[in-house]
A = this chain, B = another copy of it.
Amino acid sequence: MQKIMGDASTVVPNYLRGLAAAHPDLIEYDSEHRILVRRAPVAPGKVGLVSGGGSGCEPLHAGYVGLGMLDAACPGEVFSSPVPNAIMAATVRADYGGGVLYIIKNFGGEVMNFGLAAEILRRRGIRIEKVLVDDDASFPPELAARRRGLGATVLVEKIAGAAAEQGRPLDEVAALARRVVARSRTFGVALSPCTHPKTGLRTFDLPDGEYEVGVGIGGDRGHERRPLPSVGEIADVMLERVTVELGLQPGNRVLVLLSGLGSTPAIELYGLFAAVRDRLVTHGAEPVRSLVGDYITSLDSHGALLTVLHADDELLDLWDRPVHTPTLRWGA
């Protein structure tokens, strides 16, 4: 297996150790509980934000810990949910008296383990709200329960994080997070599978000249396999269900997140972004904010996730507020 790694059991802790060592001003790694915690000072009573999920989707979630975003992240093993104990340790660290918001991607294990942790900790007196992220537009509305949590997770973490930093109460922060989910849709494609570091196996086989349509994160196949078209047609495919589901109208302002899946070079990703943006503009939408790069990935898969948020003044204001994390960093 062509990977830079040692024993497979060390892949996740080595990543977390490296991430914390590269950003000592922003985050701290608690190796006992395998969680990452923000270092920036916190105002008493600030709502705490916690997220987590299977590793392999870096920089999700550990790369988003810091001022203006998550207070703690709990990464599980590769493609496996964090255990309730890790979630509970992260929650205790993120509880400053104002309650804690869980940002949970719609994967069975995450929903279950965050749910368990919430149940136990609420009995101990910590106020906890949960927001479920299910922005995956590859499933039609009648299969909404199967919609995975994808790129909107990053947007929820940023926007709810900014609201929490402003000192807004838990119910308001949670409502904002839900609004971001409701106004976001994601569609993914993959030109390659990924290789699991434990097994050394590819998660599926894909012949050259074909691609998977409707993938998520976690190395699963999409809904359909098609001949690989040119970049413009890929953009059409990615945008089709996203624009319909959001009901995008001429004049609507949008935030576009185009994430590589882990081994997509920038030269391809920005080329795809140009094609996506052209089509949005032709449709009459106004792309007012853009983020292009590896923001939510699937190990070493080659492909992309397109997330579109139907923005408004409040969401854009929160988006623009300062953020100091390993991955997103802007503002004073």
Q: Which residues of A contact B (CB under 8 A)?
A: 1-7, 10-12, 14-19, 21-23, 55-56, 58-59, 63, 191-192, 208-209, 211, 228, 230-232, 234, 262-275, 277, 287, 290-292, 294, 297, 299-300, 302, 304, 329-330, 332
Contact = CB atoms under 8 A, between A and B. Distances in A.
Q: Per DSSP, are chain A's interface residues mostly helix, strand or loop, or mixed?
A: mixed
B274 A294 contact: no
A4 B332 contact: no
B263 A231 contact: no
Contact of A263 (B1, B19, B302): B302
A211 B234 CA distance: 33
Contacts of A208: 1-2
A299 B267 CA distance: 7
A272 to B, nearest CB: 5
A299 B2 contact: no
Nearest to A234: B4
5 contacts: A2-B209, A2-B228, A5-B268, A23-B290, A263-B263
Contacts of A14: 231, 270-271, 274-275
Given A2-B302, A230-B6, A234-B4, A18 B265 contact: no
